[in-house]
Amino acid sequence: MAKPIYVLNGPNLNLLGSREPEVYGKETLDDVRARCERRAAALGFSIDFRQSNHEGELVAWIQEARGGAAGLIVNAGAFTHTSIAMLDALLACSVPSVEVHLSNIFTREPFRHHSYISKAVKGVICGFGAQSYELAIEALAARLATAKPS
């Protein structure tokens, strides 16, 4: 069986749909999961979709992805702007990865303009709401299709 694409979600993303819908939209995290599963299936992939409010758990999942995932999508939430631990884990992870944000972090408060994890990913997609995840799946699928077998 082919390895899944891991989709990891950080703190407060469990509150999607009710937390600042004017910024993050009205879709819930379950809605986002369904979008991801549909898009991935259409491209021949499965999704392993997770959320945690705990930095260490996210780091452990990134480490797990090293052997268990075809690719990795990370919406680190607030840890984007603070977590050197997640950066280090991503730097040690050889699977292609994409950073995702629902909002355009560059049009928000200045502290959100810097991402520690961007250095370790193939690309960043932000500002398209829940569609950002689908765009990340498409990007990963294209990269995986052209990757040389190891």
* Residues noted as catalytic: 24, 101
Start-end of H helices in 75-125: 84-91
- φ and ψ at 141, to 5 degrees? -60, -40
At position 29, the amino acid (one-letter code) is L
Backbone dihedral region for residue 47 (phi beyond 0: left; psi -120 to 50: alpha; all else: beta): beta
- φ and ψ at 60, to 5 degrees? -60, -40
Question: What is the rounded CA–CA span in Å between residue 66 and residue 96?
Answer: 10
Burial of 19 (0-12, 13-18, 19+ CB in 10 A): exposed
